[in-house]
Amino acid sequence: MEIKTIAVLGAGLMGHGITQVAAQTAKYNVYMRDIKQEFTDNGMKMINDSLQRFVKKGEMTETQVNEVLARIHPTLDLKEAVSNADLIIEAVTENPEIKKKVLAEADSAAKPEAIIASNTSSISISELASATKRPEKFAGMHFFNPPQLMKLIEIVRGAKTSDDTLNTIVEVTKIMGKEPVVVKKDVAGFVVNRVLIPALNEAVNLVNEDVATPEDIDKAIKLGLNWPMGPLTLLDYVGLDTTLAITEVMVKEIDQKYQASPLLRQMVRAGLLGRKTGKGFYDWKK
């Protein structure tokens, strides 16, 4: 099936980035839908700011920026967003009930042949697919933050995902200039978070046990494992609450060994969530 028009549900942190990649690199016609005008306005502002950075670097012209923006249609109307879409990418908040509600609405308004993908980082694809009447045309399409720069997309097969659906999403991923990794089983955390979350949690344990300072832990991992960013800095970027939520899914779905560090829980309770609150392991207000 040829994909020409994409609907992205959600204009937030991930949604606006996915919209930009689809319109800029893949040159798709994209409908970006959210529930409030301020959300779509903010999404468009972030896309514009990002495109202007390409202009500053001499990688794009103003004409090209205008061509990209012309391919993006922000809307509050779900029906308008999905009725012509060949592929619908859900990128709403990481909450199963909210996602299922949005997916059920999108499913009933979309054309029968449309494929639906979720950008979830931790929720079961089979569970989300069950909110629709097309589980064979449903898969995970997990982008990494920021979608404009990160090369990877984890493509996750649900219990009923068809080969055709999977192959189409692999193709779309390549057209978007990304690298696909097919996750053959619908397991919590997929591939990246299954490896990353225990590593981040262990870094928090090191702080909790006062083994070394956060700065030295980050320095050790950057220099010793060649990570571009230390684990505690990364936690501050991802959000400590988001990380805690993923550990809880993994404990429930896989094994008790993914139990969150007591310090991670304390910091989330105290509202020290990282960059978004101005303080986590580091002070971001400076």
Catalytic positions, please? Answer: 121, 142, 154, 193
Strand partners for 72 = 30
* Amino acid occupying residue 183: V
CA dihedral 228, 233, 235, 237 (to 10 degrees): -90
Who's near 172: CB < 8 A, 6+ residues apart? 3, 26, 87
Give the span between the Cα atoms of 46 and 36, in whole angstroms: 16
**Which residue from 146, 164, 171 is spatially nearest to 19, judged by alpha carbons?**
146
> 3-class secondary structure for 81-107?
HHCCCCEEEECCCCCHHHHHHHHHHHH
